[in-house]
Amino acid sequence: MERQIKFLSSVHGAVCDVAWRARLDAEIAMPSTQDRTEVWWQYGGRVFEGWLASYGSLPVWAGADDAFQRWGVRHVLHLRDDMVSLADCGAFSWREHEEPQASPMEVAEWAHEWRFDWAISLDHVVPDYDATFDRHGLRSAPAEWQRRVDLSIRLGGEYLDACVTLGAQFTPFGACQGWSPQSFAKSAKAMRHMGYTHLAVGGVTGLPESDMLTVISAIRDAADCEALHVLGGTRLRVLPEMQRRGATSFDSTNPGRQAFMSPDGAYFGVAPESRWTCVSLPRAERNKAVRDNNRMGLTTNSDVNALSSAALHAVLDWGERKPGVKLDDVMAKIAACHDTHSASKGYLAAVYGTLMARPWEACVCRACKTHGAYVAVFRSAKSAQLRMYHNNHQFQLWMDDQFATWSDEPERRLF
Ligand SMILES: [Zn+2]
C-alpha cells in the first residue's frame, strides 16, 4: 500500500525553540548562513509533511509572536510548498478545567495572524472512553461527558462564525469529541451539518489501537468529509489501516521530543521502534549534578568542562574510527564526567552498546552522514536539532516499512 496519510510533527514550541537556540549555540561552530538554513530546510523539508502547533504550548523564545505574525508560519519555519501547517487549540492542556481557557475568536485570530494552512476548531476533551455506553444510548453516559461534547459542537459553530468575521484564509477543521464510537459519530455529523468539510478527531491519544480504528470508522461512516486529522494518533503498527479507514493525517511529538528530553532512547535506530541511548555530556552550566557539586566546592565548571570536552573528542574519534582509539578508554572518559546520567544504573552499559553498534554508520540521513557520532551525543541545542532531524528521518523509514509490508487482503489484517 502506498502511504498517503500525512505525518505532522507536533513538537510544539520546542521545534523552533531548539532550532532557533541552536543558532546561538557557540560551542560547535555553526555552518555558514546558507548551510544553516539548509540544515533546517532539510529537517523541515524531508522528514515530515507538516507542522502542528498548539495554542496551549507556543514557542517561548523572545520575539516569536512578532516573527510569526510578521512573516507567517510557513516562512519562519521554512516549510516547503508541499507541506502544511496546522493550528490546534491544545484542549488537552485545559482538560482539568470546566471550560476551555480560550475563546473561539481568540484561537481563530491566532491561526489567522500566523497564517496557518489548516486550523482546528476550539474544543473540550472528554476525560474517558467507554464504548459500552453505546449499548444503552448516548444519554446513558455521564452528564459531564455529554456536556463536553455538546460544548465542543457549540464552540465549533462559534469558531466558524469567527472565521467568517476575520476573513480567515485557512481551512477550518471541525473538532470531533466523544467517549464511544456513537458519540464521536454524533459529533462528526453535527460538525458536517454546520458546514465543516474537514474534520479532526481528538481525545484518542491514549486509546488502544483497535478502539482508535473503530472511532475513525465511526466518524467516516457518519460524515462524508474531505479530510480527517487524527490528533496525536501515532500508531505505527496500524498506520496503513488508519489510512484505509479514512484518516488523512496525524501528528506526533515522539520523534522530535525524544531527541532532547532524556539521553535514554533519544536516538532512533534502523529497526522499527528501536532506540539507542545517547552519550550524555552536557556542559557544566547545564548539568544539575555539577551545579550541586559546585555549591559544595567539590569541582569547578572549568574542571568539568575539560573532562566533558575530552570525552566528547574521544567519542567523535571513536565515531570516525581513528586509529588507536579503544572503546574502553572512551568509556573511561565518559564515566569521568560526573554527569547525572553517568551515575544512573544501566546508563554506562547502554552507552557502551550504542558506541559498539555505531548506529550513525547505518543511517543515511544527512545529519549522520555529516556529523557522525555527534548526533548520538546529548549535549547542546545543536546536537539535539540534528538528532530531531535524524529521528524524524528514521520515523519516515519506519512508516515506509509498515506500508511496504502491509497486505490489503482482509484475512491478513490485524483488525
Ligand atoms: Zn541519521
Instruction: List the chain domain ranges.
Output: 6-252, 261-400
The share of the chain scoring above pLDDT 90, in percent, equals 57
Instruction: Determine the distance separating the centroid of ligand 1 and the alpha carbon of 375, expressed in angstroms.
Output: 7
The sign of the dihedral angle between the CA atoms of 110, 113, 116, 117 is positive
Average confidence (pLDDT) over 259-269: 92
Instruction: Determine the distance separating the centroid of ligand 1 and the alpha carbon of 336, expressed in angstroms.
Output: 28
Instruction: Determine the distance separating the centroid of ligand 1 and the alpha carbon of 43, expressed in angstroms.
Output: 11
For residues 22 and 340, give the distance between their C-alpha atoms in angstroms, rounded to a whole number: 23
**Could you please report the per-residue DSSP string of 35-103?**
HHHHHHHHHHHHS-SEEEEETTS---STTHHHHHHHH-HHHHTT--TT-EEEEE--GGGGTTSSS-SS-
Instruction: Determine the distance separating the centroid of ligand 1 and the alpha carbon of 176, expressed in angstroms.
Output: 37
* pLDDT at position 255: 87
Q: Name the residue among 235, 193, 195 with its Cα closest to residue 215.
A: 235
pLDDT in tens, 45-87: 568 888 898 887 765 555 667 767 877 888 777 677 888 999 9
Instruction: Determine the distance separating the centroid of ligand 1 and the alpha carbon of 363, expressed in angstroms.
Output: 5
Pull the grid cell for residue 195: 458546514
Q: Give, as residue ranges, everything with CB less than 5 Å from ion ligand 1.
A: 363, 365, 368, 390
Q: Name the residue among 63, 113, 66, 61 with its Cα closest to residue 87.
A: 113
Lowest-confidence segment of 116-120, 170-174, 298-302 by average pLDDT: 298-302
Coil vs helix vs strand at 361: helix
Average confidence (pLDDT) over 399-414: 75
Q: Which residue has the higher pLDDT, 345 or 404?
A: 404
Instruction: Determine the distance separating the centroid of ligand 1 and the alpha carbon of 72, expressed in angstroms.
Output: 30
Residue with cell 549555540: 25
Q: How far apart are the first and last CA of the chain?
A: 16
Instruction: Determine the distance separating the centroid of ligand 1 and the alpha carbon of 146, expressed in angstroms.
Output: 46
Instruction: Determine the distance separating the centroid of ligand 1 and the alpha carbon of 106, expressed in angstroms.
Output: 40
Residue 35 — pLDDT band, cuts 50, 70, 90?
very low
Lowest-confidence segment of 3-7, 96-100, 112-116, 282-286 by average pLDDT: 282-286
CATH of the domain spanning 6-252? 3.20.20.105
Instruction: Give the 3-state DSSP-derived string for 24-43, with helices as H, strands as E and coil as C.
Output: CCCCCCCCCHHHHHHHHHHH
For residues 357 and 274, give the distance between their C-alpha atoms in angstroms, rounded to a whole number: 13
Residue 248 — pLDDT band, cuts 50, 70, 90?
very high
Instruction: Determine the distance separating the centroid of ligand 1 and the alpha carbon of 281, expressed in angstroms.
Output: 19
Instruction: Determine the distance separating the centroid of ligand 1 and the alpha carbon of 256, expressed in angstroms.
Output: 13
Instruction: Determine the distance separating the centroid of ligand 1 and the alpha carbon of 286, expressed in angstroms.
Output: 25
Instruction: Determine the distance separating the centroid of ligand 1 and the alpha carbon of 364, expressed in angstroms.
Output: 6
Instruction: Determine the distance separating the centroid of ligand 1 and the alpha carbon of 88, expressed in angstroms.
Output: 30
Instruction: Determine the distance separating the centroid of ligand 1 and the alpha carbon of 102, expressed in angstroms.
Output: 39
Beta-strand pair 275-276/267-268: antiparallel
Instruction: Determine the distance separating the centroid of ligand 1 and the alpha carbon of 255, expressed in angstroms.
Output: 12
Instruction: Determine the distance separating the centroid of ligand 1 and the alpha carbon of 221, expressed in angstroms.
Output: 40
Instruction: Determine the distance separating the centroid of ligand 1 and the alpha carbon of 62, expressed in angstroms.
Output: 30
Instruction: Determine the distance separating the centroid of ligand 1 and the alpha carbon of 365, expressed in angstroms.
Output: 4
* pLDDT at position 320: 97
Instruction: Determine the distance separating the centroid of ligand 1 and the alpha carbon of 347, expressed in angstroms.
Output: 22
DSSP-assigned letter for residue 252: E
Lowest-confidence segment of 22-31, 290-299, 352-361 by average pLDDT: 22-31
Instruction: Determine the distance separating the centroid of ligand 1 and the alpha carbon of 266, expressed in angstroms.
Output: 12
Instruction: Determine the distance separating the centroid of ligand 1 and the alpha carbon of 396, expressed in angstroms.
Output: 11
Contacts (Cβ under 8 Å, ≥6 apart) of 350: 264, 276, 277
Instruction: Determine the distance separating the centroid of ligand 1 and the alpha carbon of 376, expressed in angstroms.
Output: 9
Average pLDDT over the chain reads: 85
Instruction: Determine the distance separating the centroid of ligand 1 and the alpha carbon of 156, expressed in angstroms.
Output: 41
For 337, other C-beta atoms within 10 Å of its C-beta total 26
Instruction: Determine the distance separating the centroid of ligand 1 and the alpha carbon of 366, expressed in angstroms.
Output: 6
For residues 373 and 360, give the distance between their C-alpha atoms in angstroms, rounded to a whole number: 6
Asked whether the predicted pLDDT for residue 409 surpasses 80, the reply is no
Residue 415 — pLDDT band, cuts 50, 70, 90?
low
Instruction: Determine the distance separating the centroid of ligand 1 and the alpha carbon of 373, expressed in angstroms.
Output: 10
Q: Which residue has the higher pLDDT, 287 or 100?
A: 100
Pull the grid cell for residue 332: 573511561
Instruction: Determine the distance separating the centroid of ligand 1 and the alpha carbon of 269, expressed in angstroms.
Output: 9
pLDDT in tens, 192-210: 999 999 999 998 988 999 9
In 121-245, beta strands by DSSP E = 171-176, 198-201, 227-230
